[in-house]
Chain A
Amino acid sequence: MNDKRHDPRDAELDRLFELARQAPPDISGVERNFEGRVMARIRESREPWYAWAWRLAPIFLVLTILLGGWSVLYPPIHAADPVTMLASGTQEVALLDYLTGE
């Protein structure tokens, strides 16, 4: 690969490579405490699946509070419609009467 080249673009390319080699990439920012971050990733990958359950607890808590608030603000509708009554489960007797024609 180091043979004499006559194409002027070869010389140009070699010059670019030579210059680029003189400017090694700056890794100082990433190098700082890199091993700490790698070890944290490794420890994270070792955690059992149920360790995640605790992290999801706040989400379930918020969900429970929202559902509680919603059920207080919007109580079930008591309509004359038999399907709604069936769904509500509170008018079973009336529904039975309606269906049996009494």
Chain B
Amino acid sequence: MAVPDGDADLVRSAIGGDDEAFAELVRRHKGMVLRSAARFARNPAELEDLGQETFLRVFRDLRSFRGDAPFGHWLSRITVRVCYDALRKRRREEKDISMEVLASPVADPSTGSGPSAHLARMILDQAMSRLKPEDRLVITLFELEDRSVREVAELTGWSETRVKVRAFRARRTLKRLIGGDDER
């Protein structure tokens, strides 16, 4: 049996019931999906859940893939949607999270070299957990994944204006949190 090599061929084979074709799609794209989902997951177990949920949704909706854009783009949109749903579900749990970690190696001017990359991630994770899910999604895609406003708009299905407004609000809240004047 000939092995299909393009994503579109694999999608067609998977729709036809070829499990190995779908497994190959997962193998090809798992890195991209997991790297993206890892920006939203709090631990490896949650990352596993987000990754699996993404591919289960892809499998379920495979027939709706029209093929007019690359499979990777379609997959990215589903990944973003799954992560956004997870953020909304999690929102209530994190309301009372401690903000102690924000006590300021960043704000302290006497700290010569500043925080390490790992510490920066921790600080941002803590601060971003206080954002609204929409704001967190936008600022993650925009600042951490370094995507353009247009890309974020395409991935989320929101207008560019809405993306800009969300990004602005998220930055404002983060500045307040990191600056230490948490008004909430």
Contacts and interface: CB of A to CB of B under 8 A. Distances in A.
Interface of A: 1, 7, 9-10, 12-13, 15-17, 19-27, 29-31, 34-39, 41-43, 45
Contact of A39 (B19, B51, B116): B19
Given A27-B47, A37-B52, A41-B52, A12 B106 contact: yes
Contacts of A25: 35, 38-39, 41, 47, 121
Nearest to B47: A30
B142 A20 contact: no
Interface in B23-57: 23, 26-27, 30-31, 34-35, 38-39, 41, 44, 47-48, 51-52, 55-56
A20 B30 contact: no
Nearest to A18: B120
B15 interface: no
Interface residues of B, number: 44
Interface of A is mostly: helix
Contacts of A36: 23
A45 to B, nearest CB: 7
Interface stretch (B80-88, B93-101, B170-178): B170-178
Contact of B26 (A7, A24, A38): A38
A10 B149 CA distance: 19
A24 B38 CA distance: 9
A37 B56 CA distance: 11
Contacts of B22: 39, 42
Nearest to B54: A38
7 contacts: A1-B164, A12-B175, A12-B178, A20-B121, A23-B120, A30-B51, A37-B52
Nearest to A16: B120
Nearest to A17: B143
A30 B30 CA distance: 10
B114 interface: yes
B34 A31 contact: yes
Given A1-B149, A23-B117, A30 B44 contact: yes
B124 A39 contact: no
Contacts of B158: none
A-B interface, 6 closest residue pairs, ranked by CB to CB distance from nearest: A25-B38, A23-B117, A19-B120, A35-B26, A9-B175, A27-B34
